[in-house]
Amino acid sequence: MKNKKIYGRILGLIKPYLHLVILSLLLAVVSVVLTLYAPVLSGRGIDLILGKGQVDFEGLWPVLVRLALVAAMTAVAQWLMNLCNNKITYHVVRDIRTQAFERLEELPLCYIDSNQYGEIISKVVTDVDQFSDGLLLGFSQLFTGIITILGTLGFMLSINVAVTVFVVVMTPLSLFVAAFIAKRTFSMFKAQSEARAEMTGLVDEMVGNQKTVQAFSYEKEAGQRFREINEKLRASSLKAIFFSSLTNPSTRFVNNLVSTGVAVFGAFLAIRGRITVGQLSCFVSYANQYTKPFNEISGVATEFQNAVVCAGRVFGLIDEKPQEPDGPSAIDLGEVDGSVKLENVAFSYRKDTPLITDLNLDVKPGQRIAIVGPTGCGKTTIINLLMRFYDADEGRILVSGHSVRDVTRDSLRRNYGMVLQETWLKAGTVAENIAYGRPQASREEIIQAAKEAHAHGFISRMPEGYDTKITESGGNLSQGQKQLLCIARVMLCLPPMLILDEATSSIDTRTEIRIQKAFARMMQERTSFIVAHRLSTIREADVILVMKDGHIIEQGSHEELLEKGGFYAELYNSQFAVSV
């Protein structure tokens, strides 16, 4: 039943291109009719060559001309048919890949966090390619195969009914062999596809984190994991390909028996004068042409099993539940005053493991709020909730008096500028990366933002300055340089609210002092949330929230919290204690 649904969805993808399918079918009919007409002409030519010195050249010449015309017309029809088939296939593949990518952009962050990146990439790229190969093979050989079978039967019936009946009686044996093998290869192709996705995930993980792999001398363990998955892929691929490859030789063996039977049976009829030698030659040719499509269709059937498995994996991604859409009455937030309020907020990534419970916070416009606490206390989670990467399980979050659930996500996030500890840059020029949030920004604005972020110096020393190409994720830049570019990106947009999550963690102390001054200018009259482990960077904050186990256990200014002598004072003294 599951496969039927997949077939139905594939047909649904093909439906918009029904006109091309019909045209391909018509061209297939023309190609097959012309191909089948050729043996008739060949048979007539053979009958005109009765023996030595008895060749009817006058009658043979028109037959040869017709054969040449038929060959030329067949070639043109097949070329046009393949053109249609390619167009159908690549349009369908484009549509399914577009659907997959669009759904990927709609999926909640929890899906991305809980699945290997490599496996997701495998579904969008590799599985779609495998589906494309199977679909193209189906269009190229399935149409012509079926029409060839029907057309050959018609031509054979017009010549001799007895031989035609003999061929038809032998046909089910070939179909049975093909169906028997095809049914057993589906699960094998599924295992192969899953192992391929696991391999892609591992390679993506190793390539993306090669420095960490080498730093911890994990090469041997990574190699062992690779060999295990590679062996699994080898075994599953070998089994799938071996069993699927049995189809063609098995059906060819049966079909050769059919051709041999036709030749022997037809020879007896020719001896008795029931058919001519030319008609016998024509029948042998038709027997080969009749059985050949069964070989091709059986090959298509096994290849299509792999395509269906891959299509099912892609459809699985497309069918994943998207993030909760903006409500029909959701408004555009527009410009905000910077006030943020959290009322009785509760949240957990896993329902059985509470993280944040009954969190209350009232942030005034323009305030600088620092969030500190031990690892795992919920600092970054608050940022995820403010940006609505995740929705609170209970309570509500208000921005400028509006619940974040009552405004569009886009308008909410436009009002935040975010610099994270984990930097991300796209493959492109330095200028394009700085202008990521404002593509229409002028070069002067980009340079000014870079100067304010203290990135202009190193950019100017690059080979092509702001037009220097950088690799994906900024692989040819230092971590500090990448972070400066991310800071410049926010400097260019200057939204009314800022989120700085360990924004200067990869920058040297001297540059950090300069960046802190730039941040100070940038944060003037802007509500700012600062997550930091180095407490020296948050002394100027208006309010410091001290978190532990998902709760705010202390809040106040730096001086007030030190006077209390509580948890914050312990954290601060542990960082700045002087040993004697």
The radius of gyration of the chain's CA atoms, rounded to the nearest angstrom, is 36
Indicate the CATH number for domain 340-576: 3.40.50.300
What's the first-to-final CA gap in the chain, in angstroms? 76
Distance from C-alpha of 561 to C-alpha of 495, rounded to nearest angstrom = 30
pLDDT at 1: 42
Distance from C-alpha of 273 to C-alpha of 381, rounded to nearest angstrom = 91
**Cα dihedral value 466, 470, 474, 477, nearest 10:** -70
CA 323 to chain centre: 18
Phi, psi of 338 (to 5 degrees): 100, 0
Segment holding 233, helix H or strand E? helix 219-245
pLDDT at 145: 77
**474, 434 contact by CB (below 8 A):** no
**Cα dihedral value 190, 191, 197, 199, nearest 10:** -160
Q: What angle do CA 352, 356, 359 make, to 5 degrees?
A: 145
CA 295 to chain centre: 33
Q: Which CATH architecture has domain 2-13+87-318?
A: Up-down Bundle (1.20)
pLDDT at 54: 65
pLDDT at 565: 84
Distance from C-alpha of 381 to C-alpha of 182, rounded to nearest angstrom = 50
pLDDT at 506: 61
**526, 366 contact by CB (below 8 A):** yes
Distance from C-alpha of 463 to C-alpha of 471, rounded to nearest angstrom = 14
What's the whole-model pTM score? 0.65
pLDDT at 210: 67
Distance from C-alpha of 483 to C-alpha of 425, rounded to nearest angstrom = 9
The tens place of each residue's pLDDT in the chain, 580 residues long, gives 467 788 888 888 888 888 888 888 888 888 878 887 777 777 666 666 755 556 666 777 777 788 888 888 988 988 998 888 888 888 888 888 888 888 888 888 778 777 777 778 888 888 888 888 777 777 777 777 777 778 877 877 777 777 777 777 766 666 676 666 666 676 777 778 778 878 877 777 776 666 666 666 677 777 888 888 888 888 888 887 777 777 667 767 776 777 777 777 777 777 777 777 667 777 777 777 776 776 666 667 667 777 888 888 888 888 888 888 887 888 888 888 888 998 888 888 877 777 888 888 888 888 888 888 877 777 888 888 888 888 888 899 999 888 888 888 888 888 888 887 777 788 888 898 888 888 888 999 999 988 888 888 888 988 888 998 887 666 678 777 888 888 888 888 888 888 888 766 666 777 677 677 777 777 778 888 888 766 666 777 888 888 887 778 888 888 888 888 888 888 778 766 543 3
**Cα dihedral value 438, 442, 447, 449, nearest 10:** -40
The closest alpha carbon to 134, from 31, 244, 292, belongs to 244
Q: Where are the domains of the chain?
A: 2-13+87-318, 340-576
What DSSP letter does each residue of 80-112 carry, written as one string? HHHHHHHHHHHHHHHHHHHHHHHHHHHS-HHHH
Phi, psi of 531 (to 5 degrees): -100, 125
**Cα dihedral value 289, 292, 296, 298, nearest 10:** 130
DSSP 353: B
- Beta-bridge partner residues of 346: 394
Distance from C-alpha of 408 to C-alpha of 438, rounded to nearest angstrom = 19
Q: How many residues does this entry show for the chain?
A: 580
pLDDT at 580: 34
- Provide CB contacts within 8 A for 539, sequence distance 6+: 558
**239, 188 contact by CB (below 8 A):** yes
pLDDT at 142: 73
